[in-house]
Amino acid sequence: MNDLTLAPLTVVGAGPAGIMAAYTAAEAGVDVTVIDENPLPGGQYLRQSPPEFTIPDVVAAHSGHPEAAALYRKLEHPRIRTMHNTSVWGVFDGRMLALAERDRVYLHKANRVVIATGAYDRPLAFPGWTLPGILGAGAVMRMVKTQWVLPGKRVLLAGLGPLQLPLADLLLESGVEVVCVAEAANLFLGWRHLSGFWGHGDRIWEAYTYIKTLVQHRVPVFHNHAIVSASGKEQVETATIARLDGSGQPIAGTERQFEVDTVCLGYGFLPSIQLAMAFGCEPRFDENLSWFVPRHNDHMETTEPGIFVAGDVTDFGGAKVALAEGRVAGLAAAHQLGALDDATFNRLVAPALAELRHMNRVALALQRIYRFRRGLAFLASDDTILCRCEDVTLAKVKQALADGAIDLHQVKLGTRAGMGYCQGRCCSALIAPIVAKETKQSISTLHPFTVRPPIQPIPLQMLATGAVSMAVE
């Protein structure tokens, strides 16, 4: 398996952040291995349609990413080798990466690593949220943009954040009826953060064009509203939204019900921190996100020396921030590997950091305007499922707490929440606020679930191939 030996720099994730980190390091003279579980590069935002679909360039450009193709081409750099269809499923002995490629597993020693694993739709638990037809906004975006299929015909968008508008726009353009957009942010309070947009006129213009489309299609937009329940037999048939009070709790009597066949939940994203945690990187509690991200310094290095992060896995700023962070991480890794001397590194990293600061101003303003509102964590009723994998309800979690559990780990042992396929990716951020409230601690003092290999399920047959490749090495 010698051809699969990892280069001095391993980048996990071929989204904007990972590609830029790899390219920057390669330009500095470092050999790089890029690993991504998808068959094609691009990550979430720049995800490509399958090659079997023919999409005229005009349309591709219109759907948002004239810059995408240029980015993919960066991976053709002679110093970069990309392993597609390969996931990293564990970290052993501190620096050994366990990889799974199609039907085989391997173990390889990594040197420097950039973790650019991105993020996934943030779950929001309310009565009825597990019904088929209720999907994450990211899921809908991917479906429409890359698989060219519509999620349904009558869609309600509920969420928190600036991605709701382009999504509504996309659905309307594709001929879907959008019954309403429920935006949970209190924009009245948000205006004070708008100074962050100085010098970002393009972002304001972008927002304006989206709003124009909504107005044209007469789509009602309810600000300071959230989805509070959904019902249906085998799939969603109605969805109810309500106005929120100052803390983000729904106000009784303000409910409005809509007949729908699809609900799209866009309550932001949670970072894919599993790999960083598996490396032992210390988490930091982010107040706006109300969840944990890997802690990093100015040069994107985590608390584990030589392990860097970039992009959505640690800072939610959109694709441009991801690119800027990827550049900084790539330079820092190249510097550590001796490819850049101190002077050259300092000369190159200064403008990259300045660019990042500029991007971060608007990112931070957006994060503050759309900060996760506390009340949204308490929409579930006793029989609402919090852990989808193990069918664990709010009542069961409360029982475990009444029985003496005082942290996430003990709730897990008492209820099985977080023990299923997804290993708590979906439920941990739903359960933590409940634990914090009932035990009167701050969420920031809780620890996310321990990450244990495999971070993705591995069939036994496949695991068994590791025994063979060990013998060969």
Ligand X SMILES: Cc1cc2nc3c(=O)[nH]c(=O)nc-3n(C[C@H](O)[C@H](O)[C@H](O)COP(=O)(O)OP(=O)(O)OC[C@H]3O[C@@H](n4cnc5c(N)ncnc54)[C@H](O)[C@@H]3O)c2cc1C
The listed partner (another protein, ligand X, none) that binds 116, CB under 5 to 8 Å by sort, is ligand X
Q: What is the token pair recorded at 87? A: 């996931």
**Residue 425 touches another protein, criterion: CB under 8 A:** yes
- In Å, what is the CA distance from 10 to each residue of 59, 83, 111? 34, 11, 7
Among 44, 86, 249, 360, binds another protein (CB under 8 A): 44
| Run of H or E residues at 87 | strand 86-92
Preceding amide of 454 cis, omega within 30? yes
Please choose, out of 90-98, 156-164, 316-324, 374-382, the segment that lies near another protein by the rule CB under 8 A.
Answer: 90-98
Taking the least distance from each CB to ligand X, the nearer of 293 and 380 is 293
Binding another protein (rule: CB under 8 A), the pick from 1, 61, 66, 92 is 92
Nearest to ligand X of 360, 384 (CB atom): 360
Q: Which is nearer to another protein, 49 or 257 (CB)?
A: 49
For residue 396, give both structure tokens: 């069961």
375 binds another protein (CB under 8 A): no
**What is the rounded distance in angstroms from the CA atom of residue 220 to the CA atom of residue 218?**
6
271 binds, among ligand X, another protein, none (CB under 5 to 8 A by kind): none
> Which residue, 13 or 330, has its beta carbon nearer to another protein?
13
Q: Considering the complex, what minimum distance in angstroms separates the CB of residue 400 from another protein?
A: 9
Site membership for another protein, residue 149 (CB under 8 A) = yes
Instruction: With beta carbons less than 8 A apart as the criterion, state whether 114 and 314 touch.
Output: no
Q: Which of 316, 299, 370 is nearest to 118 (CA)?
A: 316
Instruction: Decide if residue 175 touches another protein (CB under 8 A).
Output: yes
In the bound state with ligand X, the residue whose beta carbon lies nearer, of 18 and 133, is: 18
Q: Which of 13, 15, 127, 152 binds another protein (CB under 8 A)?
A: 152
90 is in the binding site of which of another protein, ligand X, none (Cβ under 5 to 8 A by kind)? another protein
Q: CA–CA separation, 430 vs 252, rounded Å?
A: 22
Could you say which of ligand X, another protein, none residue 49 binds, taking C-beta under 5 to 8 angstroms by partner kind?
another protein
**Helices 428-438, 394-402: crossing angle, 10 deg rounding:** 40
Q: In terms of CB distance, is 376 or 451 closer to ligand X?
A: 451
Options 178-186, 196-204, 242-250, 452-460: segment touching another protein (CB under 8 A): 452-460
**Interaction between residue 409 and another protein (CB under 8 A):** yes
In whole angstroms, give the CA distance from residue 139 to residue 393: 24
Number of residues forming the site for another protein (CB under 8 A) = 84
Site string (128-147) toward another protein, x via CB under 8 A: --xxxxxxx-xxx-xxx--x
Distances (CA, A) of 344 to 17, 298, 347, 383: 22, 17, 5, 59
- The region of 196-204, 290-298, 321-329, 413-421 touching another protein under the rule CB under 8 A is 413-421
Give the Cα separation of 325 and 309 in Å (integer).
8
- Of the pair 323, 389, the CB lying nearest ligand X is at 323
240 binds, among ligand X, another protein, none (CB under 5 to 8 A by kind): none
Among 1, 5, 29, 50, binds another protein (CB under 8 A): 50
Which residues have a Cβ under 8 Å from the Cβ of 147 and sit 6 or more positions away? 49, 50
215 forms part of the interface with another protein (CB under 8 A): no
Cβ atoms within 10 Å of 170's Cβ, excluding its own: 18
- The CA distances from residue 399 to 177, 246, 396, 430, 450, in Å, are 42, 29, 5, 16, 22
CA–centroid distance for 52 within its chain: 27
Residues in Cβ contact with 152 at an 8 Å cutoff, skipping those fewer than 6 apart: 133, 176, 260, 261, 262
Residue 448 in the binding site for another protein (CB under 8 A): no
Torsion of CA 395, 397, 403, 404, to 10 degrees: -150
- When the beta carbons of 98 and 241 are compared against ligand X, the nearer one is 98
CB of 361 to ligand X, least distance (A): 14
Candidates 66, 14, 69; CA nearest to 42 is 14
Nearer to ligand X, 315 or 384 (CB): 315
> Residues in the site for ligand X, rule: CB under 6 A?
12-18, 35-38, 43-45, 87-88, 116-119, 137-138, 141, 163, 166, 272, 275, 311-313, 318-320, 322
Partner whose footprint covers residue 117, from another protein, ligand X, none (CB < 5 to 8 Å by kind): ligand X
Q: Per CB under 8 A, does 37 bind another protein?
A: yes
CB of 275 vs ligand X, minimal distance in Å = 5
Give residue for tokens 């996430």. Answer: 408
Of residues 152, 137, 144, 173, the one with CA closest to residue 55? 144
**Residues sharing a CB contact under 8 Å with residue 235, sequence separation 6 or more, in sequence order:** 131, 132, 133, 261
Q: Determine which residue in the list 191, 198, 208, 421 makes contact with another protein, applying CB under 8 A.
A: 421
Specify the residue, 275 or 356, whose C-beta has the smaller distance to another protein: 275
Q: Which region, judged by CB under 8 A, interacts with another protein, from 10-18, 88-96, 184-192, 324-332?
A: 88-96
| Binding partner of residue 164 among another protein, ligand X, none, CB cut-off 5 to 8 Å per kind | none
Contacts of 312 (CB under 8 A, 6+ apart): 15, 17, 44, 118, 119, 269, 271, 272, 322
